[in-house]
Structure 1
């Protein structure tokens, strides 16, 4: 929504999100320009003090080619490279906030033995017990609904031994 508009009621969501993106981009560019202006002012102060072109870490003179390329630089190339963190470390770093974020945004679905929370597949299995558009014929290997919705690994819903008796066992007795 531009400042001249009174309402965003008739705007398409894509237009609104484009405008939001542009506002964020303009803010980022403005902050970058302000930071750059601060660096230039710092370089001008160093010229007035007579310390321009001297590395702030090692105290050596900064190469003239580097000063021509980046006039506001504070460090020589060697100190800049030592100060720069290893790209491999940066790539593997995750924000501290991720340690406390819980599902569905946190470290979920880890597939570890100790990860026994009630997860998405468990919820799907619980819902499938009440039915779905799939039938045993759609999912190969199942002959009837009883076999289709049981969970023989977790033995969900089994309280005593009689609960484990299935219609299949009764059918074998009749045949």
Structure 2
């Protein structure tokens, strides 16, 4: 990496640090949207709580991003910027351009991420349908769909008929 590229990345990191710090610690998102909780439905309070939790998670992410940017700027001062912390090889400029605070090369980035594994809950919960689409080999014919669900009742079934008309309901 040449001096011009290093200066470009330093400017990019400095600008990004300013942007993130300007958005950090904005307390307005932690306020409730209601003036009084006296006559609120519990769901309104739950919505406010969910919004506050989401904003706090975003705030934590911003703080981590500030820390990563500051670490990258410190590495520039130390002369270790652009060197993988795992293998010691140079990190390609293209990676640093896309992610200026990267500390590892692409081969050592997120080694614990397993995109093939599924959540453990899925083994207990099972499928959400009796016939998952991925297990059906072909295209399903939906022409008889009404007949399949009509077994569970419809507005034309005896339980919906008037009292005097139930005996003769199916006779034509």
Structure 2 length as normaliser, TM-score? 0.48
Higher Cα radius of gyration = 1
Higher helix share: 2
State the structure with bigger RCO (CA 8 A, min sep 6), 1 or 2. Answer: 2
